[in-house]
């Protein structure tokens, strides 16, 4: 059986990892809209099984009530087991999928380092194929030393005139029209094409990409780190390096251990959607506009402890691919149902009200996953490194997961920092922290905008949309560059100050909303975190 209600204990799902997925008849009874809508897929039952497995594994790791944690010892300080010799040695070993490939390629191609990428995940359903980035980030891809300008431009599938956010405001005391933003997410690139090119560049440089290996743990010694992996049939393989970089996500075992449960992934964003063809095209509210992107859209108020949000981005106009997602922001210990299968059922039931389907509408593939982020406070600083171990991408971020597209603008800077650390032999925790700590977006992460996208325990159903409408109206009064920075995660202290001041004038209840979400002590930590971020920004 697939449990879709909040669970009482992660122990209940202890056997979920090894359990057999239900058959198609079970899925059809429980999730009829989902099964019918995926009917055009040649591997429909396999996709359903993958969704079920991901959900079961997530539930096995987390208690929906209480957020209890299945700790894994992923980093050990000492030698590997006796008689376990490393089969090869590298300057750096990367773990993860697309983000790991990109970072490894930037170090290997840009600086001539010998690298290994271990990759165990299937990218087909857990990540969409199109990344939405800015023109500035597109140039960063060219400058990272991995791709030529022609290759980068060849990966572009669409350019939008702009993107917008729009929140439901029927019951909201603050009304706001669509807020248009240009220069933030206007370029759609084929992420799969870029990662395939990155893998080819690595191969040309003599680097190794080991697919089908699962990272088990890292053994840190004074002169090197040994990486233990598990392959098909449980076979163990060991590799040695001067540095291990984990780019496998915010909920990775390394990220969890380094943060000891304090800064671990206490926030979650379940997300489901499809890449599909056959939507009714046009510029109407419920039509697929291939010249614009929809960053955040809500069509109803909160219910069942969650505020559902949509996003919609077009791929290549000639192909007709259009990607839509339905998601919500939450905490791991809330009573909201976090089942991906149940959310898929809601997605297909609600999709016609968001985008109209034409007669030839069909799903090309589903996209789904759990994104995570830490719940940070003044006293819970997130660790991004220990000796010879570095967290990259979502694993090292304090914000919600963006996948590999969030790393595009950082490839060159991180590669330079990693090269400097390797060249100087500065591979202790403090030095490696600086490789990530130079990342922009400190103020944006501290602001915690996603906190306002989930209902407070005793909040009214319209409270989330009302707050977001107030913030949207206030953003509309900022300069275009400042609006762009907000949606690229690069908000400055000055922009934040102006945003809060304008929001307070439009909506004095904003500070009441802050207290509802963070509590009295949490509000103090929130303010302290903003102050610290501002101080560090000033010192850059």
Task: Give the tens place of pLDDT for each residue, 220-239.
Answer: 999 999 999 999 889 999 99
For residue range 391-447, list pLDDT tens digits in order: 997 655 555 445 556 678 789 999 999 999 999 999 999 999 988 764 444 555 555
Q: Are 328 and 197 in contact (CB under 8 A)?
A: no
Q: From residue 231, how far is each of 203, 214, 215, 227 by CA, in Å?
A: 21, 6, 9, 13
* Amino acid 522: pLDDT: 73
Question: Which CATH number does 75-159+187-262+377-439 carry?
Answer: 3.50.50.60
In angstroms, the CA 337 to CA 287 distance is 29
Binned at pLDDT 50, 70 and 90, residue 13 comes out as very low
Residue 67 has pLDDT above 60, yes or no: no
What mean pLDDT is predicted for residues 284-297?
97
Band (pLDDT 50/70/90 cuts) for residue 115 is very high
How far, in Å, CA of 499 to CA of 299, rounded?
24
Highest mean pLDDT (candidates 55-59, 126-130, 364-368): 364-368
Residue 367 and residue 361 in contact, taking contact as beta carbons nearer than 8 Å: no
Give ranges for CATH 3.50.50.60 in the chain: 75-159+187-262+377-439
Around Cβ 335, how many Cβ atoms within 10 Å?
A: 14
The β-bridge partners of 276 are 322, 363
| Greater model confidence, 217 or 263 | 217
> Cα torsion at 333, 334, 340, 346 (round to 10°)?
180
Average pLDDT value over all residues in the chain: 85
| Local confidence band at 124 (pLDDT 50, 70, 90 cut-offs) | very low
Least confident of 252-266, 297-311, 334-348: 252-266
Sign, CA dihedral 403-408-412-413, equals negative
Q: pLDDT confidence of 121, banded at 50, 70, 90?
A: low
Kindly state the average pLDDT of the residues 150-158. 96
The pLDDT value given to residue 420: 97
Of residues 261 and 6, more confidently modeled: 261
Residue 177 has pLDDT above 70, yes or no: yes
Please report the pLDDT score of residue 266 as a whole number: 75
Q: Please state the rounded mean pLDDT for residues 67-93.
A: 84
Give the pLDDT confidence score for residue 126 in this predicted structure. 45
- State pTM to two decimals: 0.88
| Average pLDDT value for residue range 106-133 | 79
**Would you say 293 and 132 are in contact if contact means Cβ atoms under 8 Å apart?**
yes
Using DSSP bridges, classify how beta strands 225-230 and 309-314 pair: parallel, antiparallel or unpaired: unpaired
pLDDT at 19: 66
- Of 7-11, 136-140, 397-401, give the range with the top mean pLDDT: 136-140
Predicted confidence (pLDDT) at residue 6 exceeds the cutoff of 50:
no
* Spatial CB neighbours of 321, under 8 Å, sequence gap ≥ 6: 130, 275, 276, 277, 314, 315, 364
Whole-number pLDDT of residue 20: 81
Q: What are the residues whose beta carbons fall under 8 Å from the beta carbon of 13, sequence distance 6 or more?
A: 3, 7, 56, 59, 60
Question: What is d(CA 369, CA 53) in angstroms, rounded to the nearest whole number?
Answer: 11
């Amino acid at each position: 059986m697939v449990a879709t209600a909040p669970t009482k204990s992660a122990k209940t799902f202890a056997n979920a990892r090894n359990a057999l997925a239900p058959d198609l008849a079970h899925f059809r009874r429980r999730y009829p809209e989902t099964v019918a809508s995926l009917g055009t897929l040649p591997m429909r039952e396999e996709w359903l099984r993958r969704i079920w497995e991901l959900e079961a594994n997530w539930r096995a790791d987390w208690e929906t009530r209480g957020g209890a944690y299945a700790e894994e010892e992923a980093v050990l300080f000492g030698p590997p087991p006796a008689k376990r010799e490393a089969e090869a040695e590298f300057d750096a070993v990367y773990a993860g999928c697309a983000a790991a490939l990109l970072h490894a390629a930037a170090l290997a191609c840009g600086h001539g380092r010998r690298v290994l990428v271990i990759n165990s995940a299937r990218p087909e359903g857990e990540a969409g194929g199109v990344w939405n980035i800015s023109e500035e980030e597109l140039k960063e891809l060219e400058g990272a030393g991995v791709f030529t300008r022609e290759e980068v431009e060849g990966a572009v599938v669409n350019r939008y005139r702009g993107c917008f956010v729009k929140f439901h405001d029927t019951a909201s005391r603050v009304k706001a029209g669509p807020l248009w933003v240009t220069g933030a997410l206007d370029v759609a690139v084929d992420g799969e094409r870029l990662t395939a090119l990155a893998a080819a560049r690595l191969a040309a440089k003599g680097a190794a990409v080991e697919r089908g290996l699962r990272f088990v743990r890292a053994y840190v010694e004074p002169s090197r780190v040994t990486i233990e992996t598990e392959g098909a049939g449980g076979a163990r393989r060991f590799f040695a390096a001067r540095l291990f970089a984990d780019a496998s996500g915010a909920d990775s075992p390394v990220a969890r251990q380094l943060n000891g449960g304090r800064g671990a992934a206490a926030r979650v964003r379940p997300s489901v959607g499809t890449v599909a063809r056959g939507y009714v095209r046009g510029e109407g509210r419920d039509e697929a506009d291939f010249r614009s992107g929809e960053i955040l859209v809500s069509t109803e108020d909160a219910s069942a402890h969650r505020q559902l949000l949509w996003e919609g981005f077009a791929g290549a106009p000639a192909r007709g691919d259009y990607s839509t997602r339905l998601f919500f922001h939450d905490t791991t210990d809330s009573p909201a149902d976090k089942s991906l299968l149940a959310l898929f059922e809601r997605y297909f039931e609600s999709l016609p009200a968001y985008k109209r389907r034409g007669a030839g509408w069909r799903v090309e593939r589903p996209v789904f996953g759990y994104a995570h982020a830490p719940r940070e406070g003044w006293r819970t600083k997130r660790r991004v490194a220990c000796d010879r171990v570095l967290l990259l991408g979502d694993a090292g971020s304090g914000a919600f997961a963006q996948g590999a597209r969030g790393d595009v603008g950082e490839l060159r800077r991180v590669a330079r920092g990693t090269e400097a650390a390797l060249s100087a032999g500065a591979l202790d925790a403090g030095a490696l922290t600086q490789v990530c700590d130079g990342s922009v977006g400190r103020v944006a992460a501290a602001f915690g905008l996603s906190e306002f996208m989930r209902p407070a325990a005793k909040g009214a159903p319209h409270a989330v949309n009302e707050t977001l409408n107030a913030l949207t109206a206030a953003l509309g009064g900022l300069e275009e560059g400042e609006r762009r920075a907000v949606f690229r995660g690069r908000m400055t202290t000055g922009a934040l100050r102006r945003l809060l001041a304008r929001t307070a004038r439009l909506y004095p209840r904003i500070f009441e909303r802050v207290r509802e979400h963070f509590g009295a002590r949490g509000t103090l930590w929130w303010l302290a975190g903003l102050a610290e971020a501002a101080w560090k920004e000033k010192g850059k």
